[in-house]
C-alpha cells in the first residue's frame, strides 16, 4: 500500500511522526512536502496528493494544514477525490466505512502525534462498508460530471 503525504508549513514537525508511523504500519510513503516552515499555499500541496491518487501512484493520501479545512476543500475539487476532515478516531472510522474516503485531512493545530497515530490506525484499519453507501457515493460521482 502506498500513501502520498503532503503538509503545509504548519505541519512539518508532525509530518515526520506520520511518516514514521506509516512505515511502521508497513506502508510506502511518498513525501510531497513541504520540507520546512517557509510558507506555502495549501492548494498546491493538495493538487500533488490528488494527482498521485488519480494517476494511481498512491492508494491513499494524507493532507495536513493548520486546521485541515483548506486542504479538504482544495482536495475535494479534484475528480475522484473523497477527502475527509477528521478530528478523532470515530470520524476516521466513519470516513472510511460510510464515505470510502481516500484522502485523510488533519488539522495540525488540533491533533497531537499520539492522537494522529490512533486516527491513522483506525482510518487504515477500516474498510468501506458498501451497501446503501454505494448509492450515495454514485450520486457524488455524478456531481463531478455535472454542469448543474
| Nearest alpha-carbon partner for 85 in 65, 101, 106 | 106
Residue-number span of the structural domain to which 71 is assigned = 2-144
In the residue annotation, 9 being an active-site residue is answered as no
Does the pTM surpass 0.85? The reply is yes
What is the chain's pLDDT, residue by residue, as a tens digit (148 residues)?
999 999 999 999 999 999 999 999 999 999 999 999 999 999 999 999 999 999 999 999 999 999 999 999 999 999 999 999 999 999 999 999 999 999 999 999 999 999 999 999 999 999 999 999 999 999 988 888 877 6
Provide the β-strand partners of residue 83: 103
pLDDT score at 123: 98
Give first-to-last CA distance, the chain, whole Å: 36
pLDDT score at 144: 82
Under 8 Å CB-to-CB from 90, ≥6 apart: which residues? none
Q: Name the catalytic one among 9, 10, 65, 105.
A: 65
Q: Name the catalytic one among 21, 98, 105, 133.
A: 98
pLDDT score at 131: 92
**CATH code, domain with 73:** 3.40.1400.10
Residue ranges with strand state E in 2-147: 2-7, 28-31, 60-65, 83-85, 103-107
In the residue annotation, 133 being an active-site residue is answered as no
Domain count for the chain, please give it: 1
> Per the structure block, which three cell numbers stand in for 103?
484522502
Amino acid at each position: 500500500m502506498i500513501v502520498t503525504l503532503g503538509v503545509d508549513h504548519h505541519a512539518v514537525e508532525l509530518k515526520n511522526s506520520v511518516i514514521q508511523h506509516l512505515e511502521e504500519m508497513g506502508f510506502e510513503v511518498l513525501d510531497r512536502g513541504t520540507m520546512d516552515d517557509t510558507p506555502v499555499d495549501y492548494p498546491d500541496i493538495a493538487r500533488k496528493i490528488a494527482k498521485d491518487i488519480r494517476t494511481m501512484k498512491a492508494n491513499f493520501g494524507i493532507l495536513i494544514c493548520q486546521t485541515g479545512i483548506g486542504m479538504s476543500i482544495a482536495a475535494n475539487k479534484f475528480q475522484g477525490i473523497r477527502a475527509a476532515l477528521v478530528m478523532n478516531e470515530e470520524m476516521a472510522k466513519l470516513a472510511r466505512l460510510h464515505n470510502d474516503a481516500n484522502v485523510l485531512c488533519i488539522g495540525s493545530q488540533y491533533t497531537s502525534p499520539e492522537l494522529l497515530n490512533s486516527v491513522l490506525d483506525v482510518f487504515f484499519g477500516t474498510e468501506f462498508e458498501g451497501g446503501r453507501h454505494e448509492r450515495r457515493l454514485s450520486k457524488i460521482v455524478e456531481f463531478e460530471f455535472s454542469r448543474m
